[in-house]
Amino acid sequence: MRLTRYVLFLAAGVLARPVLGHHSLATEYDLNRSVVVAGTVTKIEWSNPHARLYLNTGGSKGSGVMHWQLEMASPNLLVLNGLKIDSLRPGDQVTVDVNPARDGSNLGYARKISHSSH
């Protein structure tokens, strides 16, 4: 049985600015745009000041694999919002709502993640 779990992350809104005061998310990411990235988790780093999620996408019907690096909130904030250190594992299929990088690279800020449970 497939169970989809949604985890919400704070973006660079008024509430997040004090927590993320060391840099502005709006400088690196386009907070007025959102893209959906679906792929396979290759790695997750639980480190301060931000956790990072790495995904591989594409690879079907002749398209090449794209590697995405997604910044997330701090590990403490992720835990407070219900994410556990083992909630995402390499090989998991996920769909992520992302604020994309302003420079067009495969970087983004993860706002919402959905995945099948283990």
pLDDT digits (tens, 9 = 90+) for 78-109: 999 999 999 999 999 999 999 999 999 999 99
Which pLDDT band holds residue 11 (cuts at 50, 70, 90)? very low
The model's pTM: 0.75
**Hey, where are the domains in the chain?**
4-116
Which pLDDT band holds residue 113 (cuts at 50, 70, 90)? very high
Owner of token pair 């990411």: 29
- Residue 22 DSSP one-character state: T
| Record: fold of 4-116 | OB fold (Dihydrolipoamide Acetyltransferase, E2P) (2.40.50)
89: Cβ contacts below 8 Å, ≥ 6 apart: 41, 44, 118
Which of the two residues, 33 and 19, has the higher pLDDT score?
A: 33
pLDDT digits (tens, 9 = 90+) for 39-80: 999 999 999 999 999 999 986 666 688 999 999 999 999 999
Query: Dmax over Cα atoms in the chain, in whole Å?
Result: 44
Q: Which backbone phi and psi does 26 adopt, to 5 degrees?
A: -65, -20
